[in-house]
Structure 1
Amino acid sequence: MFPLRAAPNAPAGPSPSPGCQGSTSRGGEHRIRGTAFPREGKSGTQHCSRDPPLKPRPASGWLRWSAARAAGAWRGTAAGGRPAEGFWVKRRSGPWPRTSLGSADLAQLGGSLGLVAREEGVGVLQAATEGEVGFRKRTRHLLGSHTQLELVLAGVSLLLAALLLGCFVALGVQYHRDPSHSTCLTEACIRVAGKILESLDRGVSPCEDFYQFSCGGWIQRNPLPDGRSRWNTFNSLWDQNQAILKHLLENTTFNSSSEAERKTQRFYLSCLQVERIEELGAQPLRDLIDKISGWNITGPWDQDNFMEVLKAVAGTYRATPFFTVYISADSKSSNSNVIQVDQSGLFLPSRDYYLNRTANEKVLTAYLDYMEELGMLLGGQPASTREQMQQVLELEIQLANITVPQDQRRDEEKIYHKMSIAELQALAPSIDWLEFLSFLLSPLELGDSEPVVVYGTDYLQQVSELINRTESSVLNNYLIWNLVQKTTSSLDHRFESAQEKLLETLYGTKKSCTPRWQTCISNTDDALGFALGSLFVKATFDRQSKEIAEGMISTIRTAFEEALGQLVWMDEKTRQAAKEKADAIYDMIGFPDFILEPKELDDVYDGYEVSEDSFFQNMLNLYNFSAKVMADQLRKPPSRDQWSMTPQTVNAYYLPTKNEIVFPAGILQAPFYARNHPKALNFGGIGVVMGHELTHAFDDQGREYDKEGNLRPWWQNESLAAFRNHTACMEEQYSQYQVNGEKLNGRQTLGENIADNGGLKAAYNAYKAWLKKHGEEQQLPAVGLTNHQLFFVGFAQVWCSVRTPESSHEGLVTDPHSPARFRVLGTLSNSRDFLRHFGCPVGSPMNSGQLCEVW
């Protein structure tokens, strides 16, 4: 059992901003088929003094909210001309009507109502105990000297007042009995209402552009932070989690009974030793290169040592030149692990950057400049370094030419090839595979008959031919360049500065001012993520949240299965098998249990040596340790305790070979989930995420796996044909969307789009089931939304995002998820429930009249 994250084995490459390292595509030591959002990697950092206070703010909500006033309720019409759920008809011109209360007014409302906080932070209304409201005492007699007419009129007035008071009492009783007509005035409700109002753009009709309606205010108030290429709810929440971890690791009274937790603090502190890192400069990497065999760019090198250099770079230090090797569950025999080999070897985010040279000329030039600068920092001469790095770049371009695009690798039945090492040797003879794999998986004994699963047979065959025809000096330079990419983040600021120049061109980031501590938290998360998770969970996680989340998943699963029963295109045999698979999905909430058992946690990291003195050596030890851990997995069955995300990660995933969905503690926070938020927001937030991951079991890739997690055909032909017809509609729909004039790849994003659409439907149906069981909720004050509408606004506001044009382009060519805007617009335009509750008529931008529905 070892839940080491994939980062030590992830392909090296620049990434735009601190976050969760890894990839949602195949490769690395885990193979996640679906995540709620794309996980971002870490960038180089500019040291600066902009550190937050040692005590971070509690992770209780969204950051960066201003106190500016927001607009009030808007009102729309139903498709049939009737006012929809109490919404006014839109006027022909001018903005939508506004309510009298905005977010700033809400902030004052609590005080005027005598709002106080409970110990758990939920506000309650208390009756005044002093100075009760009443009439002033008067010395004059009530009747005084009024005329008879005045007295009659006064009597009539009193009678009318009594009747009016009776009406108010009757209405009050009715409102008390029907919570849907009452308002929630707790502190939590007022606060979340203010945040929702601040995010809205009331000048836009929800039936015109629901993303702008839901997020326009948020976008206006959230310019991109310096050094970031994108900013969204996930980034904000991850920053909060990092601040909590910083506080825990920098606590001067830190004292743990777990050696793994103590290693975590030592690793973090070694990363903070900036003076020591600057003092060593480039020397640690120079020494490592000389130890391996030298580098033609910087000095003498061993010309006849290709296999030895490959073993060191890809084996000992876990870089991924030419290909990647990892151990994971066999897709066709999921109860056993197997060696797996796949394509790899590119530094830039996608083959598109190499092949579309006209559009990416600036990026390729910046990349070559970066290569040259690093070569010179390590001892190369200007003229010869650029010439040799140009040769390495040309080799990467040739690799890009033979790399299969991700949208052509979605049918796993077609790309799965199981063979022996002997057969792999015949396929790609330029590599001595038995020698390489035996070294990589030492001390295991391997033979020619050892099974290997290859996911890129054509690619490996062509790589072998490319290696055979490439000069040995270029091969050496390319291999060592992969090692350089892997290790420069552990060196001094000159290497960070060089990377920043490339990042600015590649992602549009301005000069980064990311605090060093934040970079070190991300590095610690990569190295000792589950020991760090132990600290995080003990400090922040509410066990009751786990129980509530499990109940929500159960309700959402039931809603999904009920929808299965209503599909007219699926035959009964396939339907029954699908229901059995849904029943069998295993859910993991919060964290794996072993992290709270000190001995078990220590056993996980036993053998990983960490000192406080050398960050570079700690990283080398990590690469070597992860290689040994990988070897240890081969002869063991897959374990459910082996998570692919750490507990503090703000994300979730579905793993088809285990048929399991996982929701780390890091995402079980506001705005996705909060115990004192309306259920409409919880189901629209974490509920949709849960439905999304569950639906991944039935997307275009997940549907190929049965309930046991095995890749095999279990669909009847007629249902499979119908499924493909429905997904073709969705593929075409998303392919029409554009970002900055560039179209989305509907094929590349198909699985995530299916999950978004199915997840929303399942979560909304689950919310309706909750209402049927528990009754209507109180409404939020001032927002002017029914709770059903609040569900959809809550869903949309999870995806509020800002991004540079360069980062948007990178997302279009690499990300299996659609851009945030179209995760909202595409999903809601296919939702009958959304269109009904917001009264969007056919022909409006949100209602084309053609819905693409799969689940």
Structure 2
Amino acid sequence: MRKDNIDESLIKDDLYQAVNGEWIKNATIPGDHSSTGGFMDLFDNIDKTLMSDFDDLLKGTMTPANDDMAEFKKLYDLATDFAKRDDDGAEPLKKDLQRIEDVKSFDDLNAQLADWTISGLPLPFGFGVEADMKNAKFNALYASSPSTFLPDKTYYDKQNPAGAKLMPIFRDMVQQLLTMVGYEEDQAKNIVDSAEEFDRSIAPHVNSAEENADFTKMYNPKTYAELAAKIDKFDLVSYINELVGTTPDQVIVTEPKFFDAFNDIVNDDTFAKMKNWMIVRTVKGSAGLLSEEFRQVGGIFSRALSGKKEATKPEKAAYYLAAGLFDQVVGDYYGRKYFGEKAKQDVHDMVVKMINVYEKRIQSNDWLGDDTKKMAITKLNSLAIHVGYPDEINPLYHQFKVVGKEDGGDLYSNVEAIDRVVTKHNFGKWNKPVDKSIWDMSANTVNAYYSPLENVIVFPAAILQAPFYSLEQSSSQNFGGIGAVIAHEISHAFDNNGSQFDQDGNLNNWWSDEDHKHFDQLAQNMIKEFDGLEFAGQKVNGKLTVSENIADAGGLSCALEAAKGEDDVNLADFFVNWATIWRTKATEEYQQLLLSIDVHAPAELRAQVQVKNLEDFYKTFDVKEGDGMFMPKEDRVNIW
């Protein structure tokens, strides 16, 4: 245990402060950040490393590793040509705005509806292609609602002070952007007034973050003909025929209540408001591709939302823009250069070890029936493991062709062209087999995930470093870090959402009624454990965060068992590193935003609450009744 910066006198009362108090006192949140801490430190270091490498790429002192990297170089070159972007001003955006202005009726819009979607222009509904929840081997068509101006429908409640504070900031920002594009002041105000009215008409009919957290409820299959007949003003049959080549038999509607209300929201009386809503969304969405002035103004709302004091530096913003579009290409470069095959195998072995521990825990579980146990172990043994970086770059990226600076290319039109390729590719997947080799995260992402529709866990290279994992750390430290993260992702296969999917990724109840009833009660206990905990002047929503809290609990207890099986076990090291990986200092605005929309509990509570459920924590630090970290046995929650 690293005793130099730990206040051991505090451990029994406040583990998080004992481990991180000194760091929190001295840590400074950079002006262009909303937080700093374990995850963000890794994120910043990777950015610094890659930006340095890609400076050499632009200078020509580093050769592109492959053809995809050569295309990335051309886009990055355009993104960092700040003089040209400033000279171009609003000009690249005007053709898209004119296209919206030229639409005088629903007939005008229907005549170009498919290309409107491929061009990335906004519509008051969304269609996309993802794995079918009930037949996860094939891709299905999904229909959903559009996003709103504010982060969640709860911000539109009259009782929510955050919404009342944030909407005027959003309005002022957009009015300023509109005048910069060329609209007169009064025109800009009228557009924003009208767009806000339309946006507010959408909000009551979309799901909140809490509702979306139970994502199996998004599976509402309808016949496509049924959905198309519901919508009065849009020709959805011609639209989908052009996008996928035929009329599908089925569409999965994620929010039926939105489409039930659609004709009240979108009609001849609201057509002008809808157009203005499209203009606002287009101007706001494009600001980061234009001049520095546009980028600065276009970020006012997000900075207010997150509490950032200043905009990201132009150079870093240009890197984020180019690397975001070429994320798997950048990830491939990062993984191969900074991670390598040996580390990839080491961590893969660690994942297998954690799966084996999990299997033993399921076998010895005292509340699951034998048939349910058998199915759980089948699912566990079917789990696909991705570590570090994919073996090959996703072939989609081979289609990204950039018109470089020397050929007269500009940033805006190249980004638009790449977006068209991505959208066409997405619709082209309809009714085709799901490719489970494709990663949803790039290797330079400091994160990990479990996909229930693919039954796969993914650990990008970027998270596989200290304090999560290092050969310099003891086995107990590593299990308290990356071991708990690995087991957390495994646990998602058995959380309140993941447990409803079988080993093939299909939404399919494999539980006995009695076992499921018992699990639901345990999940309710987890909701109760976190619900209403005070944080950042607000309260935690136990329903919103339940799936991640179940995964944290399962991950921590499973990793603890693995740590106890090592010769050099030191449980103080284990618990201290668990608290260390969650150290965070964030703006109050950002903390409050996350409490409203994030399915994860605040980092401090993730560190602090979960250990109280484990008997070994009490034994390790001699925590007794009356100590701040004590929780009565009857209140402790243990699921996996």
Q: What TM-score, normalized to structure 2?
A: 0.94
Give the corresponding residue for 1:348. 150
Q: 1:422 aligns with which of 222, 225, 231?
A: 225
- When structure 1 is superposed on structure 2, of 623-632 and 267-276 the one drifting more is 623-632
Cα–Cα, structure 1 residues 312 and 232, in superposed 2: closer, same or farther, change >3 Å?
farther
Give the corresponding residue for 1:445. 245
- Cα contact 1:658–1:709 (8 A) shared by 2: yes
Q: 1:741 aligns with which of 537, 544, 550?
A: 537
Shift of 1:308: 4.9
Q: Distance in 2 between matches of 1:237 and 1:422?
A: 49
Cα–Cα, structure 1 residues 675 and 206, in superposed 2: closer, same or farther, change >3 Å?
same
Shift of 1:357: 5.8
Q: Distance in 1 between matches of 2:486 and 2:342?
A: 17
Q: Distance in 2 between matches of 1:464 and 1:605?
A: 41
Cα–Cα, structure 1 residues 560 and 704, in superposed 2: closer, same or farther, change >3 Å?
same
- Cα contact 1:701–1:751 (8 A) shared by 2: yes
Find the residue that maps to 2:130 and give its secondary structure. strand
Amino acid at match of 2:12: C
Q: Distance in 1 between matches of 2:268 and 2:349?
A: 59
Amino acid at match of 2:80: L
- Cα contact 1:320–1:482 (8 A) shared by 2: yes
Give the corresponding residue for 1:274. 82
- When structure 1 is superposed on structure 2, of 788-797 and 833-842 the one drifting more is 833-842
- Higher share in helix: 2
Find the residue that maps to 2:10 and give its secondary structure. coil
Q: 2:574 aligns with which of 784, 788, 791?
A: 791
Q: Distance in 2 between matches of 1:495 and 1:310?
A: 28
Q: Distance in 2 between matches of 1:206 and 1:759?
A: 22
Once the two structures are aligned, what percentage of the paired residues are identical?
Answer: 25
- Cα contact 1:248–1:535 (8 A) shared by 2: no
Give the corresponding residue for 2:235. 432
Is 1:390 the counterpart of 2:188 in the alignment? no
Find the residue that maps to 1:662 and give its secondary structure. strand
Q: Unaligned regions of 5+ residues in structure 1, if any?
A: 1-72, 74-192, 295-299, 596-600, 778-786
Amino acid at match of 1:366: I
Cα–Cα, structure 1 residues 338 and 702, in superposed 2: closer, same or farther, change >3 Å?
same
Q: 1:817 aligns with which of 600, 615, 619?
A: 600
Give the corresponding residue for 1:467. 266
Amino acid at match of 1:445: G
- Cα contact 1:796–1:824 (8 A) shared by 2: yes
Q: Distance in 1 between matches of 2:261 and 2:437?
A: 38
Q: Distance in 2 between matches of 1:506 and 1:537?
A: 33
Is 1:367 the counterpart of 2:170 in the alignment? yes
- Cα contact 1:729–1:852 (8 A) shared by 2: yes
Is 1:326 the counterpart of 2:109 in the alignment? no
Q: 2:277 aligns with which of 478, 493, 507?
A: 478
Find the residue that maps to 1:748 and give its secondary structure. helix
Is 1:609 the counterpart of 2:407 in the alignment? no
Shift of 1:693: 0.4
Shift of 1:608: 3.4
Q: Distance in 2 between matches of 1:670 and 1:301?
A: 55
Q: 1:491 aligns with which of 268, 283, 290?
A: 290
Find the residue that maps to 1:747 and give its secondary structure. helix
Amino acid at match of 1:574: T
- Cα contact 1:524–1:532 (8 A) shared by 2: no
Q: 2:36 aligns with which of 226, 231, 246?
A: 231
Q: Distance in 2 between matches of 1:386 and 1:658?
A: 47
Q: Distance in 2 between matches of 1:618 and 1:734?
A: 46
Q: How does 1:19-168 map to 2 (within 5 A)?
A: none
Amino acid at match of 1:287: K
Shift of 1:839: 1.4
Amino acid at match of 1:825: Q
Shift of 1:463: 2.5
Shift of 1:358: 5.1
- Cα contact 2:475–2:568 (8 A) shared by 1: no
Q: How does 1:623-634 map to 2 (within 5 A)?
A: 623-634=419-430
- Larger C-alpha radius of gyration, 1 or 2? 1
Shift of 1:649: 0.7
Q: Distance in 1 between matches of 2:214 and 2:170?
A: 33
Q: Distance in 2 between matches of 1:663 and 1:789?
A: 26
Find the residue that maps to 2:334 and give its secondary structure. helix
Is 1:206 the counterpart of 2:8 in the alignment? no
Find the residue that maps to 2:604 and give its secondary structure. helix
Amino acid at match of 2:85: I
- Cα contact 1:683–1:764 (8 A) shared by 2: yes
Q: How does 1:772-787 map to 2 (within 5 A)?
A: 775-776=567-568, 787=570
- Cα contact 1:260–1:602 (8 A) shared by 2: no
- Cα contact 1:303–1:473 (8 A) shared by 2: no
Q: Unaligned regions of 5+ residues in structure 2, if any?
A: none
Q: Distance in 2 between matches of 1:757 and 1:385?
A: 51
Cα–Cα, structure 1 residues 639 and 358, in superposed 2: closer, same or farther, change >3 Å?
closer
Is 1:317 the counterpart of 2:109 in the alignment? no
Find the residue that maps to 2:283 and give its secondary structure. helix
Q: Distance in 1 between matches of 2:159 and 2:109?
A: 30
Shift of 1:755: 0.5
Q: What TM-score, normalized to structure 1?
A: 0.71
Amino acid at match of 2:568: E
Q: Distance in 1 between matches of 2:528 and 2:345?
A: 40
Find the residue that maps to 1:605 and give its secondary structure. helix
Shift of 1:382: 1.1
- Cα contact 2:400–2:418 (8 A) shared by 1: no
Give the corresponding residue for 2:4. 197
Q: How does 1:713-724 map to 2 (within 5 A)?
A: 713-724=509-520
Amino acid at match of 1:487: S
- When structure 1 is superposed on structure 2, of 520-529 and 607-616 the one drifting more is 607-616
- Cα contact 2:65–2:333 (8 A) shared by 1: no
Q: How does 1:170-181 map to 2 (within 5 A)?
A: none
Corresponding pairs, count: 630
Shift of 1:281: 0.2
Find the residue that maps to 2:137 and give its secondary structure. strand
Q: Distance in 2 between matches of 1:664 and 1:498?
A: 34
Shift of 1:245: 1.5
- Cα contact 2:177–2:298 (8 A) shared by 1: no
Shift of 1:502: 2.2
Shift of 1:225: 0.8
Amino acid at match of 1:567: N
Give the corresponding residue for 1:81. none
Is 1:515 the counterpart of 2:313 in the alignment? yes
- Cα contact 2:527–2:542 (8 A) shared by 1: yes
Q: Distance in 2 between matches of 1:667 and 1:347?
A: 32
- When structure 1 is superposed on structure 2, of 514-523 and 698-707 the one drifting more is 514-523
- When structure 1 is superposed on structure 2, of 585-594 and 379-388 the one drifting more is 379-388
**Deviation above 4 Å: which 4+ runs of structure 1?**
308-313, 410-413
Find the residue that maps to 2:229 and give its secondary structure. helix
Shift of 1:301: 5.4
Give the corresponding residue for 1:678. 474
- Cα contact 1:258–1:602 (8 A) shared by 2: no
- Cα contact 1:319–1:486 (8 A) shared by 2: no
- Cα contact 1:545–1:675 (8 A) shared by 2: no
Give the corresponding residue for 2:390. 592
Q: Distance in 2 between matches of 1:726 and 1:257?
A: 50
Q: Distance in 2 between matches of 1:832 and 1:325?
A: 48
- Cα contact 2:175–2:188 (8 A) shared by 1: yes
Q: Distance in 2 between matches of 1:762 and 1:610?
A: 51
Give the corresponding residue for 2:555. 759
Amino acid at match of 1:197: D
Shift of 1:307: 3.0
Give the corresponding residue for 1:287. 95
